[in-house]
Structure 1
Amino acid sequence: MATTKNDWIERAAAQQPATGLYIDGGFRSARSGETFPTVSPRDGSITAHVAAAGDQDVDDAVRSAHRTFESGVWSRTDRRHRQTVLTRLSDLILENLEELALLESTDAGHPISDALAVDVPSCARTFRWYAEALDKVYDDVAPTPRNALAVISREALGVIGAVVPWNYPLIITAWKVAPALAAGNSVVLKPSEQTSLTALRLAELATEAGVPDGVFNVVPGLGHVAGAALGRHDLVDKITFTGSPEVGRYFQRYASESNGKQVALELGGKSPQVVLHDVGDIAACASAVAWGIFYNAGQTCHGGSRLLVDERVHDELIEEVIKVGRSLQLGDPLDPATQIGAIIDDRQLESILGYYAVAEGEGIAVASGGTQVHPAGVEHGYYLEPTVLDRVNNAGRIGQEEIFGPVLAVSTFRGAAEGIRMANDTKYGLAASVWTQDITKAHTAARELRAGTVWVNTFDVADIITPFGGFKESGFGRDRSLHALDAYSALKTTWINLGDAALDD
């Protein structure tokens, strides 16, 4: 196993990832022969040139998925068989831990230590969890009159189009693909053009595990080409998308313009951490606040990007948050000591830097950070110091817009009611937290906060066992938990007339 930064750099230089489209159980070039470069945020170098799916390639993948679904080779197989195959896939993911972690780190800029300890194991756990759930989910019997029997059963929907983002490629891919496959569907996955490599390797492992050819296809490509073609395809029964609100609305239009397919959307957030004056353990709160926004360089959909703090504890808390932020080691993702890695690409970096100019125009003080840096030994790449912007107007652009970087916006209030009002004063509703030692306030605040997940005295504690998704413009539908398994199924009622016949002949 690689153990040092130099070990990982050598392995990164030697890796030869698969770059073709994965359709009907094998790799192939795009019909046009076109490719696009995947650029490592670590140093700005081109990792590979990946096949760029066009309309016809997406059609090939969807038709392959539809054909295999209709054949029943996966959709009508015994659920215990699907359970065995998906468990084997989970095992293979862990058996290839280092390879997948290295691909994820070079492709997405995640610290290699996080890829090894979080990203790949989480992906494996998701597939195993849904596999294990399959023989624990029961159909229902309705309370009919005595002369009838009504059975409510769950059946696979058909072809699922999954479009996933670049910030957590393996984790979010698993959230969508695992329950979809477990339910018996076929899947066409469109990974982000920035991060396609782990998706292609995952599909190859799925075939090795026993997923039939055509059941799991991957079509890397540009969003406005491959993503749009998938969204508009009449043989796709559902689209599940994680990304920006703007692109999410495109998929709603694509659905209405084609076959009226189901759409599930997770569209980001501006998640508040509401700290009341009776917070108690300031140090623990500060650590959770800092990690909640600076983890993964702030590129987390539900990252705690707004800190709403009672003015009575503002100074003490901000001092501690800054201390934690400065203690985090920003560096080369391939250095095992790195805690904060790279911004995904130059475009995202420029977008974040643009908000620094907005902050200056709004008269917001930069309490800490705010500088673009280059770690030792890395001449290029995209890195930003953890940044704290203090005394933010919650109604301004910094307080309202999703920056998607390591930038914490701090606003003050006085009293719990004002804090909750400010927390809800946003178009988003993905996640939130409240910090207080008063159990009554905690319960009341959790009820009042308009968010899909509310944490109390913690932040970003998650597991596959609980659903994930948002309110308002953060989207609708849920990833994770048994609710996601239901979301990839259709309910069928079978009503049987028992009549009034006697049992005797």
Structure 2
Amino acid sequence: MISTYPMVSGKYLVNGEWNDIKETADVVNPANTSEVVGQVAICSKEIVHESIAAAEKAYETWSRSDVKDRAARMNAAAEELAKIIEENVTLFVRENGKTLVEAKKDLLRCVDVMKGGAAELLNWWKPETLPGSQKVQVRRRARGVTAVITPWNSPMILTFKRVIPAVLTGNTVVVKPATNCPLTIMTCLKVVADHFPPGVINIVTGSGKVIGDTLCSDSRVRTVAFVGSTETGKEIMKKSAGNLQKVYMELGGNDPAIILEDAYLDDAAIKRLKMGILRAAGQVCSAIKRVYVHESRYDEVVTKLTKEFERVVVGDSIQPDVTMGPLNNKAQFDYVSGLIERTAKSGANVMTAGIQLNPETWNQGYYMLPSIVTGVDQQSEVVRVEQFGPVIPILPFSNVDEAVKFANDSEFGLRASVWTENEELALELADRLEAGAVFHNTHTVFSDLALDFPGLKESGVSRETRHCGLEFFADSYGFAD
């Protein structure tokens, strides 16, 4: 079954024009891989160069536009986008696999990013006079053409949190969505792009290597914002070094959750723990990937979490009863399946739980029941890697120092969480944990979209903490007299 979205399916956007292309690939529904949701254009290097040229041309005037005009345009675009959220939730579910609830939340948060960024811009852009004997102003200006490269797992919010502040600060953008899940991004960005001059927002799709290499080796591109794997991030840094491009990267994670002896683990807490693990079927960089439990509470946590996993309903996310959808693509499904198989063969105890909503169609999609792994140690593969799927190892520890040592024993440092009734102790441990953010008695995302805290070590590069990310996409300079 083929259902196309004629405004964007199989097309790319350059200088305000949606263009057809001969070479395309199918975008399939991960819940039913025989269903083609639409097509994605496979753009050449020449098309990427055209998009950069269009962005560079538009930058000449857009970078000098009034911030009030930018904010007004963004607010108008946000109002328009809000009107089509409902009709695009199903599209997002069909190409991504998220549940209806997760998909709608992601789309609504994109509108929030637009409104919040526009409001923040008007205050943040104002010149700031520094104290001292000489009058010195801190002023801000746009940087130039910005490349935004985003992944398939949470494509909407991760794209909008880069594109929107880049445009608001006077830059022009070339967006490269993931080929597995581009249609909802492009449909929604079409609404946004229509409110700005041609060339301010351009969209190219296709090979990550072809497009990424081209964007990162072109001297006209001054900023690269990338969200994806650490391995790809390292390659982008190599390519970007030649032109000293400013690079923002949100990369992989292997987030630890530390459950202390005094943790209050009622039903609500266990549900929060489960959500921290299984949100988007575990395909979240900042999901819990390792759980460390004080040995006195270990059996209790395993038992309670297993019972909670048993309630998880896995199936086609279009079905309202589904609480966890399929994995997004075959490569990820095969990787997680192989990891679980190797873990079981190593002698670990793999406990699979959950409910198959439709067993008769189970093999038609990339479905996987969630698994809890016990009987592993710190060096086990399932503990060391970023699983990026619905599988979680649980390990015991005997004292706080050992827990911190285990948690920090990773090349990643994205998020962490501490579960205890002692807030003072939680703060003490947070100071010791190597993570960009630490949560207390939960493991989630920041509800305030103006805030973000990138990871440490191999989980991220550059800092983006307040002001909706505006500060990353603008240069500050001093004006003195």
- TM bin, normalised by shorter chain, reads over 0.9
Shift of 1:93: 1.8
- Cα offset, 1:362, TM superposition: 3.1
Structure 1: gaps spanning 5 or more residues:
1-8, 497-505
Preserved CA contact (<8 Å) 1:139 1:151: yes
What's the CA shift string for 1:3-48, capped at 9, x where partnerless?
A: xxxxxx9xx9575462200111120034xx3212212212012222
Partner of 2:442: 458
**Equivalent residue number for residue 64 of structure 2:** 76
Q: CA deviation at 1:78?
A: 1.2
Q: Give the match for residue 125 of structure 1.
A: 112
**1:28 corresponding residue in structure 2:** 19
Map 1:386-397 → 2, pairs under 5 A:
386-397=370-381
**Does residue 103 of structure 1 match 2:94?**
no
Which residue number in structure 2 is paired with residue 46 of structure 1? 36
Q: CA deviation at 1:387?
A: 0.8
Q: SS of the residue aligned with 2:74?
A: helix
Report the more deviating stretch, 95-104 or 471-480: 471-480
Shift in alpha-carbon separation, 1:372–1:355, aligned structure 2, 3 A = farther
**Bigger proportion of residues as strand:** 2
- Partners in 2 of 1:91 and 1:447 — Cα distance? 41
Question: 2:138: which partner in 1?
Answer: 152
For 2:45, the aligned partner's letter is: D
Residue in 2 that maps onto 1:407: 391
1:144 offset after TM fit, Å?
Answer: 4.2
Residue 196 of structure 1 corresponds to 182
Task: Indicate yes or no: 2:230 matched with 1:230.
Answer: no
2:349 to 351, 365, 374: 365
Alignment correspondent of 1:470? 455
Q: For the residues of structure 2 that align with 1:42 and 1:16, how far apart are their CA atoms?
A: 22
The answer to whether the Cα contact below 8 Å between 1:190 and 1:226 also exists between their aligned partners in 2 is yes
Write out per-residue CA displacement over residues 399-431 of structure 1, whole angstroms, 9 at most, x where no aligned residue. Answer: 110111001111110121211111111110000
Please give the per-residue CA displacement for 1:164-219, whole angstroms capped at 9, x wherever unaligned: 000011110111111111111101100001111122212310133x2111000110
Compute the displacement of 1:480 (Å): 6.4
- On the 8 A contact 2:291/2:392 being kept in 1, the answer is yes
Hey, what's the Cα distance between the residues in 2 that align with 1:319 and 1:91? 47
- Tell me what 1:60 maps to: 50
Superposition RMSD in Å: 2.0
Q: Aligned ranges for residues 493-504 of structure 1 at < 5 Å?
A: 493-496=478-481
Q: TM-score, normalised by structure 1?
A: 0.90
**Cα offsets for 1:458-488 (capped at 9, x unmatched):** 1104221321310001011245631621010
Distance (Å, rounded) in 2 between the aligned partners of 1:183 and 1:238: 13
Question: Contact between 2:287 and 2:443, CA under 8 Å: does it hold in 1?
Answer: no
- What is the aligned partner in structure 2 of residue 241 from structure 1? 226
Answer yes or no: is the 8 Å Cα contact 1:452–1:469 preserved in 2: yes
Greater displacement, 295-304 / 362-371? 362-371
| Mapping for residues 267-286 of structure 1, pairs under 5 Å | 267-286=251-270
The change in CA–CA distance for 1:462 and 1:284 in structure 2 (over 3 A counts) is: same
Q: Which has the larger radius of gyration?
A: 1
Contact kept, 8 Å, 2:322 with 2:357, in 1: the verdict is no
Partners of 2:344 and 2:356 lie apart in 1 by: 16
User: What's the counterpart of residue 139 of structure 1?
Assistant: 127
SS of 2:378's partner is coil
In 2, Cα distance between the equivalents of 1:164 and 1:428?
Answer: 19
Query: Residue 175 of structure 1 contacts residue 480 of structure 1 at CA under 8 Å; is this kept in 2?
Result: no
| Distance in 1 (alpha carbons) for counterparts of 2:445 and 2:152 | 21
Aligned partners of 2:5 and 2:38 also within 8 Å: no
Post-superposition Cα deviations, 1:101-134, rounded to whole Å, max 9, x if no partner, equal: 1221111111123212x11101110111001111
Tell me: CA distance 1:155–1:328, structure 2 relative to 1, closer, same or farther (3 Å): same
SS in 2 for 1:305: strand
How many residues get paired?
477
Amino acid at match of 1:393: D
Give the share of equivalent positions with the same residue, in percent: 28
Question: Is 2:240 the counterpart of 1:255?
Answer: yes
Identify the residue that residue 350 of structure 1 maps to in structure 2.
Answer: 334
Are 1:297 and 2:281 an aligned pair?
yes
The correspondence for 1:436, drawn from 410, 420, 442, is 420
The Cα of 1:358 is off from its aligned counterpart by 2.4
The 1:107/1:17 distance shift into structure 2, 3 A limit, reads farther
- Quick one: which amino acid aligns to residue 24 of structure 1? N
CA distance in 1, matches of 2:225, 2:445: 24
1:284-325, Cα deviation, whole Å (9 max, x unpaired)? 332122111111111001110111101100111111111111
TM-score w.r.t. the length of structure 2 is 0.95
Residue among 143, 157, 164 paired with 1:171: 157
Residue of structure 1 in register with 2:80 after alignment: 92
- The one-letter code of the counterpart of 1:197 is L
| Cα distance in 1, alignment partners of residues 225 and 284 from structure 2 | 18
- Show the counterpart of 1:4: none
1:361 deviates by 3.8
SS at 1:160 equivalent: strand
Measure the CA separation in 2 of the matches of 1:361 and 1:376. Answer: 28
Please list every run of 5 or more consecutive structure 2 residues that lacks an aligned counterpart in the other structure.
Answer: none
